[in-house]
Chains A and B, each alone.
Chain A
């Protein structure tokens, strides 16, 4: 299988500087949040399963930058990045991971079940592949309601091994649903490399047979992600149906928790180092510095702002109360 990366070396000049800065900050915010959460998991302060997004930030931010607030996104068990990129409240997310009443799901969901319906995230499901049909349905709803809204679903390469993947792509293609399937191919399904699960690393081809565009792009290149998604969104809004985007990327940490899974022999330090050298934030920062969009002073300032913002969110979460045990049975049904 030949790897055909459409690297789309578009210049940044067609994007306003303010937007580029905001994309940079959005990636920094995800990175800093995840690093601090990793520390808190390692320290035992966080107990719920936490699946970190470090290394994949360009996908969430590049995709969400191409969306409007009222477009829908659906996530998965590893969705802190999606939530934040779509504009979900940082404090409410950190509080949720700590199981607090002020959490976005009032401490009923945890890291895997975060929602921000006010910005188009109805919730994230931890069942692999389950978000695909939900997004197709939301997209069908958008079309039936006569809006130009679209739905996006983020899922990993592992989700393509679920039957619902095929059912969803067929349903969306057949119905010309305005949905965008964003496959974050980070090469691993839990601890198993794609080469140990499939005869070929050809996920784009799986999608293409359903009669939809299926570009395979460098998921660590935020502008490639942004431009490709923008095309897919335009196509969907015009009623031309779904697109599948395979974003080649890599998660730096292990499947769950703060470790790197190298000590367990699940992957090599060389592989990790290779991908860390392709850090989506570092490369974007270099590009923005080179083009004069940012100065070194800006970088220092913005990084400090994000550090402070995340610290404040953690302080808020720590100070927040836990759910009252008397409310155990609330929210099973509508009041």
Chain B
């Protein structure tokens, strides 16, 4: 049964339904019971499941994440929440050295079915330490899966898939998406990890986007269509393992590529997509690949600087026009 649901509430529903379906699922992290840390994504869960299973933790990112990993090793399926990705850096030791390596390091005998929900929460003059997007850092690490839903449907389906996955999944949601709504089934369903989505067909330029930039790309597509330009929009959904086949197919058709990822340019995810396209379908390219990304600058505070810092639909439009010499 479909009905319209917001991205934030889709996360909430997926969590609740998984906790109802599977007693090994539990939620922990700083601010899971806070009215403002995690938006509406956990509202009502503590009342429904109690403080044991919806555990608002001490400010100990490292130990809390490690405890989630240890619980996963002992048969649970924890979802550990970092209400800001910036703070999850304090837990990178556990995520990278432990969770990511565990299955390989022990010859496949034991894995870590943990989900780390890392929230990108930026804008609003929050400055450099409350605004960062570290998807490339995690996508770099063997043993981690990285997903970034861009729609409410995917927010629910990818979270369910992540919780059911046998390996550690970094689930990155963006507060800028929480109010977006679309049709979401009431029942449990999975959006498979490792599958990109074709959001709009077009023949002129391929735009590959992550997370929030998918929504911006769709706005850009609507604008460009008015000028007779048809872009094809691919929502990556899973950064790792990357569904590059869909990207190659599209570039083979359009011959032009813009990659939009709202994180830093250098060594960023857009660079990885560009590299793969150059390595695999170079002959299809009719023009250089352009990246729409954050400049190599920390996030500023003042709104006047934020306005030029964060990429948006207009930057995608500019890139597309440039590729078409318009």
Contact = CB atoms under 8 A, between A and B. Distances in A.
B103 A333 contact: yes
A72 B109 CA distance: 16
Contact size class for A? 35 or more
Nearest to B70: A137
Interface in B248-280: none
Interface stretch (A38-46, A108-116, A190-198, A237-245): A108-116
A133 B102 contact: no
A79 interface: no
A125 B109 CA distance: 15
A111 B165 CA distance: 29
Interface string A129-160: 01011111111111011000001000000000
A333 B194 CA distance: 13
A308 interface: no
Among B70, B78, B97, the most chain A Cβ lie within 10 Å of the Cβ of B70
Contact of A168 (B63, B68, B73): B63
B198 interface: no
Contacts of B68: 137
B107 A106 contact: yes
Nearest to B143: A332
A127 B102 CA distance: 12
B145 interface: yes
Contacts of B76: 141, 144-145
A330 B107 CA distance: 8
Contacts of A213: none
Prevailing SS type, chain B contact patch: mixed
A133 B65 contact: yes
Interface string A55-81: 000000000000000001010000000
B107 A167 contact: no
A292 interface: no
B62 to A, nearest CB: 5
Contact of B110 (A123, A139, A141, A168): A123
B74 A142 contact: yes
Nearest to A125: B98
Contacts of A335: 108
B108 A133 contact: no
Interface stretch (B51-59, B148-156, B203-211, B226-234): B51-59
A138 B105 contact: no
B66 A105 contact: no
Contact of B66 (A103, A108, A130): A130
Nearest to A145: B75
A334 B65 CA distance: 21
A91 to B, nearest CB: 15
Contacts of A163: 62
Contact of B70 (A115, A117, A138): A138
B145 to A, nearest CB: 7
B67 A332 contact: no
Nearest to B107: A106
B283 to A, nearest CB: 28
A163 B94 CA distance: 13
Contacts of A106: 107-109
B74 A138 contact: yes
B323 interface: no
B59 to A, nearest CB: 9
29 contacts: A105-B105, A107-B107, A108-B106, A108-B107, A109-B105, A109-B107, A115-B109, A117-B110, A122-B110, A125-B97, A125-B98, A130-B94, A133-B65, A133-B70, A134-B73, A138-B70, A138-B74, A139-B70, A140-B70, A141-B74, A141-B76, A144-B26, A145-B24, A167-B58, A167-B63, A171-B57, A332-B104, A333-B167, A334-B108
Interface of A: 72, 74, 103-109, 113, 115, 117, 122-123, 125, 127, 130, 132-142, 144-145, 151, 163-164, 167-168, 170-171, 174-175, 330-335
